[in-house]
Structure 1
Amino acid sequence: MPGDEASAQPPQPARIPAPQPEQGPLARAEQFIWLTARVLEQRRFAFHFLGGAADPVDTALGSYLNGDGGYGHALDPDLRGPLSQPLHTAHALRVLDTLGRCGGQRIERLCRHLTGVSTAEGALPVVFPAPRAYPAAPYHPVQDDPPGELLTTGPVVGVLHRNRVWHAWLFRATDFCWDRIENLRHSHPYEIQSAVAFLDGVPDRARAAAAADRLGRLVREQRLVVLDPERRAEYPPAPGYGPQELLFPYDFARRPESLARGWFTDEELGRALDFLAAEQEPDGGWPVRRREWAPGSALERRPIATLDALLTLRAYGRLATGVSRPGPVPPP
């Protein structure tokens, strides 16, 4: 009726239900994933924690695949647009590695793509220049003639080696990674992560162990890792990083078998894992510490960070194994 104040009120948005406090970490994370994640992260969660099959993950990942054999379409949320980029390739290979599917014609085509887009030294830049500009995080500036970077080349080469992929592209790319790692004198945390990804997969284990030992000393000397989360205010972020963009022991040693595990004492790693478990937020997800530059990118990255946290905690026996709840997995 006219004049009815109640009828003049605008409709209120539906409230998203928060996980119940009594739920365990995995159940709370599950609700967060179903509420916020892309299809790919939903399928990955089902595969890792609900007994789901690998095929739905593979199918979801295939939607990011381009005709040139590379991956695009914001698979890595920091690079928008359809173009194939090395950061997307590294992300895709990490997913395929967990599925045990880094082989076959798909990987052959991918290596041919990498051959065509590598720099003169056989490495991958962070971002390729393109005929038109697509949105990208400001910390990934586009250059006309970008250099090869360990940041992108290391993870790609490491995963391919771990899966015993042999392709001509790998020879020069592997030499590039060895040269960069063995001559590092100053670095930043994400580059060290990429070095570890290479060293954990490369076939020459003795050489990898020696290089990892030197990197571990560098990381501690240059304070690139927060060894005590309670004193993280004493660790300044690396140049160009966000105010909260700090890395902890588990960021380098994602699994106990990583060469980076030897960089930290049991006490240091235990404190870090306690901190990681406590970082789960009331909505069930984990935070993203890097700088937020676009709402969509930030929204898409939190489920990825949540999956990373869950997988790390499980690898160290800090998360209950098996499915998060009884019942069948949703059909593909």
Structure 2
Amino acid sequence: MSRTTEPAAPGSPLARAEQFMWLTARVLEQRRFAFHFLGGDRDAVDAALGSYLNADGGYGHALDPDLRGPLSQPLHTAHALRVLDSLGRCAGQRIERLCRHLAGVSTPDGALPVVFPGPRAYPGAPYHLVLDDPPGELLTTGPVVGLLHRNRVWHAWLFRATDFCWERVESLRHSHPYEVQAAVTFLDGAPDRARAAAAADRLGRLVRTAGLVVLDPWRRAEHPVAPGYAPGEQLFPHDVARRPESLARGWFTDEELGRSLDFLAADQQEDGGWPVRRRCWAPGSSLEQRPIATLEALLTLRAYGRPLDGGAAGGGPSGAGPELSRPAPAPRR
């Protein structure tokens, strides 16, 4: 995928987002923005990510802003892997050390909990409960395993963790929106593509039947929020099918996805950033989450051919571009 190198047109979504990023984002998100949209250096992103790396091979230091403190946590690992995947650097000794770390801290069934208990308490979002003996969760294991498989990483830990993810995904009868996101990341990277497609088809029917995704964001006030979620904390088609090649793309019609992308484009705030719809529990965490949400919004809009720099939209419904057709899913970009 080509990256923008010319300055965006003044007042365009990208120009407004750039001002927001320089004004509010951490160094990591600033460098990610520069890499994806300004022709920046991937080494600079890698260097910024390295500041979150711990001696045990895991990542900490509030890389995921919902968990503060220095401890290595699975949510930080998933975040780091998303960054490394975007750089094409999810390989090598760093990943080998990370997998050894995951093998040493996984639950007896080979999975990852949401939060590991530490020797002392550090601040964290109240919805991420710290338990003395936490169970393995698809919410954290799915994204880690999916991204490692997507990059053709093999390690002994992955065998049991993959089995855990398959069992959880294929036995889901009830779920919640963030778990669905985790399942999609696993299925999009799983090496058994036929099995992944079959599991995604069943999961998509569950998502639609249970109303886990709001199909019309413009009428979201009429849609009930999932139990335990904050008011307005809802996911839309673009949140689960972030890229056209995702298996989740087939869950939605062109009209539904086009409407969702229209909403995403219109959701850019006056300051140039995108909002975070999760519960606000600490000012610093919320401030750090918005640049991450802004990057995700820009990358999703660009993946579907939406104009960001003031150019004209491509063809298709609502100017969504030709990418609204459903290409065959692929485990790699």
TM-score, scaled relative to structure 2: 0.90
2:329 aligned partner:
none
Q: In the alignment, does 2:122 pair up with 1:127?
A: no
Q: State the partner residue of 1:270.
A: 258
Amino acid at match of 1:59: A
Q: Is structure 2 residue 290 aligned with structure 1 residue 302? A: yes
Question: How far is the alpha carbon of 1:319 from its aligned partner?
Answer: 2.6
CA contact (8 A) 1:51 1:322 kept: no
Cα distance in 1 for partners of 2:289, 2:308 equals 24
Q: Is the 8 A contact 1:226 1:232 kept in 2?
A: yes
Amino acid in structure 2 at the alignment position of 1:316: Y
Q: Residue 166 in 1 paired to residue 166 in 2?
A: no
Q: CA deviation at 1:321?
A: 6.8
Structure 1, residues 287-312: CA drift from partner, whole Å, max 9, x if none?
00000000000000000000000000
For residues 261-309 of structure 1, what are the alpha-carbon distances to aligned partners after superposition, in whole Å with 9 as ceiling and x for unaligned? 0000000000000000000000000000000000000000000000000
Query: Which amino acid counterpart does residue 205 of structure 2 have in structure 1?
Result: R
Amino acid in the other structure paired with 1:234: E
Q: Secondary structure at the match of 1:200?
A: helix
The aligned counterpart of 1:96 is 84
Query: What one-letter code is carried by the residue in structure 1 that aligns with 2:273?
Result: G
Do the aligned partners of 2:15 and 2:309 also contact (CA within 8 Å) in 1? no
Q: Secondary structure at the match of 2:146?
A: helix
CA distance in 2, matches of 1:241, 1:99: 32
1:154 aligns with 2:166: no
1:64-103 equivalence runs, <5 A: 64-103=52-91
Matched residue, 1:12:
none
Q: Which residue of 2 aligns with 1:239?
A: 227
8 Å Cα contact 2:111-2:164 kept in structure 1 = yes
Asked whether the equivalents of residues 70 and 89 of structure 1 are also in contact (C-alpha less than 8 Å), the reply is: yes
Q: Indicate whether 1:23 and 2:17 are aligned.
A: no
Q: Distance in 2 between matches of 1:288 and 1:321?
A: 23
Pairwise CA RMSD of aligned residues? 1.3
After superposition, give the CA deviation of every residue in 1:53-76 in whole Å (9 maximum; x if it has no partner): 100000000000000000000000
CA distance in 2, matches of 1:319, 1:140: 36
C-alpha separation in 1, matches of 2:307 and 2:111: 38
Residues 181 and 240 of structure 1, relative CA distance in 2, 3 Å threshold: same
Aligned to 2:172: 184
User: Would the aligned equivalents of 2:215 and 2:236 in 1 still touch at CA under 8 Å?
Assistant: yes
Alpha-carbon distance in 1 for matches of 2:280, 2:31: 25
For 1:288 and 1:167, locate their aligned partners in 2 and report how far apart those are by CA, in whole Å: 35
Pick the structure with greater CA Rg.
Answer: 1
Aligned residues of 2:31 and 2:45 also touching (Cα < 8 A): yes
Say if 2:249 is the partner of 1:261: yes
Letter paired with 1:180: R
Counterpart of 1:193, as a letter, is Q
Structure 2 equivalent of residue 206 of structure 1: 194
Aligned identity (percent) is 83
Q: Which runs of 5+ in 2 are unaligned?
A: 1-8, 312-333
User: Structure 1: which amino acid aligns with 2:103?
Assistant: T
- Is structure 2 residue 296 aligned with structure 1 residue 311? no
Decide whether the 8 Å contact of 2:14 with 2:309 is kept in 1: no
Deviation digits for residues 83-118 of structure 1 (CA, Å, limit 9, x no counterpart): 000000000000000000000000000000000000
Separation (CA, whole Å) in 2 of partners of 1:94 and 1:238: 26
Task: Output the amino acid matched with 1:173.
Answer: A
Residue 283 of structure 1 aligns with which residue? 271
| Contact 1:50–1:322, Cα closer than 8 Å, also in 2 | no
Residues 1:59 and 2:29 are matched in the alignment: no
Contact 1:118 1:125 in 2 (8 A): yes
